[in-house]
Amino acid sequence: MATIGFIGAGNMAEAIIKGLISKKVYSCDEINISDISDNRLDYMKSAYGINAFKYNNLVVSSSDMAVLAVKPQIAGEVLESLDDFPCDKPVISIAAGLKIKKITDLLGDIPVIRVMPNTPALVGWGAAGLFANKKGEKHLPDAQKIFSAIGEAFVLSSEEDMNIVTALSGSGPAYFFLFMEEMINAAVELGLDEKTASELTMQTALGAAMLAKHRSDAGEKPEDLRRKVASPGGTTEAALKELENNQLGAIVMLAVSRAKQRSEELSEV
Ligand SMILES: NC(=O)C1=CN([C@@H]2O[C@H](COP(=O)(O)OP(=O)(O)OC[C@H]3O[C@@H](n4cnc5c(N)ncnc54)[C@H](OP(=O)(O)O)[C@@H]3O)[C@@H](O)[C@H]2O)C=CC1
Ligand SMILES: O=C(O)[C@@H]1CCC=N1
């Protein structure tokens, strides 16, 4: 699929790039990156055999599609520094909170596709929300192809929804990792060795996610599956009561709302 260039080659760009190479969506020589850090460029070049550039402008001019993958706080200054941006070159922005309007204010009336990916893209299990401006709509199939190759891609009906998607699936992997960390800690504190605790936790998380995904086709929801684990008067019921009594639902609501609010705040920087 022609060439793709990443402005900023950090954690999320690496997850996408590794996914794209392993799924053969792009070959290594069709992927360009730029980054402020020479060490990072050297690492990415040697790890993936892709083309590394010191200057963001060179990545734009060498690529058919540009992916903006720097932190939202510096996205404005990075965009301002891109000279004479071609009016027909599509930009995929993965920066949390960064609105399409800010991008077109700085680069002109160009095709823009906002995407909120997540790091499981690294292993082909990403989840991404996409929204394009009018000019970007014709590039949406290409963007969907890219993000479906490394997971699942969902086109959103409004740009506003991007803040919720950011709080849900963009940040979401971290919530599950924290839950896994806490499960491992609990098992270790109760006397299990760390390796066994860690492997059992990971396999359980994977199994639960796979089961939920498979059974959703048959109309079964996570709450139905939860009930099948919790035998009346059994161990799971005892544990779930503790989670409920300690307001797990309210804590999750608070966390996801705060992430959404932070995404909205990042639109203002
Ligand atoms: N991490 C995640 O799970 C997700 C992140 N995102 C979004 O992806 C974007 C990148 O996040 P993430 O990969 O985590 O962040 P990182 O900090 O890991 O990556 C950003 C990279 O850009 C580099 N950089 C800094 N300034 C410039 C510049 N002027 N020109 C070119 N490169 C520069 C940084 O270098 P240095 O570190 O030296 O400053 C760093 O290597 C963010 O906008 C974030 O909102 C979206 C979904 C999920
Ligand atoms: O934490 C962040 O701001 C980024 C966006 C979603 C995941 N990581």
Q: Which of 16, 116, 166, 178 to mutate to test the pocket of ligand 2 (most atoms within 8 A of CB)?
A: 166
List the domain range (segments joined by +) for residue 234.
Answer: 172-266
Task: Kindly state the DSSP code that residue 69 receives in the 8-state scheme.
Answer: -
Domain count, the chain: 2
Q: What are the φ and ψ backbone dihedral angles of 59, each rounded to 5 degrees?
A: -65, -40
Tokens of 194: 């760390």
pLDDT band at residue 269, thresholds of 50, 70 and 90?
A: confident
Residue at a domain's end among 107, 140, 162:
162
- 14 CA to middle of ligand 1, Å? 10
Contact between 15 and 121 (Cβ < 8 Å): yes
* 8 annotated as ligand-binding: yes
pLDDT band at residue 29, thresholds of 50, 70 and 90?
A: very high
Q: ipTM above 0.95?
A: yes
Task: Indicate which residue's Cα is closest to atom 18 of ligand 1.
Answer: 10
The answer to the question of residue 167 being in a domain is no
Q: What whole-number distance in Å separates Cα of residue 129 and Cα of residue 170?
A: 9
The answer to the question of residue 55 being in a domain is yes
Same domain, 187 and 155: no
pTM of the complete model: 0.96
183 lines ligand 1 (CB under 6 A): no
| pLDDT of res. 1 | 66
Whichever domain contains 257, its CATH number is: 1.10.3730.10
The answer to the question of residue 229 being in a domain is yes
Alpha-carbon distances of 266 from 61, 71, 86, 230, rounded to whole Å: 28, 10, 26, 41
pLDDT band at residue 268, thresholds of 50, 70 and 90?
A: confident
Residue at a domain's end among 107, 134, 162:
162
- 14 CA to middle of ligand 2, Å? 14
DSSP-derived secondary structure for 101-155: HHHHHHH-S--EEEEE--GGGGGT-EEEEEEE-GGGGGGHHHHHHHHHHTEEEEE
Average pLDDT of the chain is 97
Q: What whole-number distance in Å separates Cα of residue 17 and Cα of residue 19?
A: 5
Same domain, 214 and 117: no
Count of C-beta atoms within a 10 Å radius of residue 79: 23
Measured from the alpha carbon of residue 128, the closest ligand is 1
- 7 CA to middle of ligand 1, Å? 9
* 232 annotated as ligand-binding: no
Whichever domain contains 64, its CATH number is: 3.40.50.720
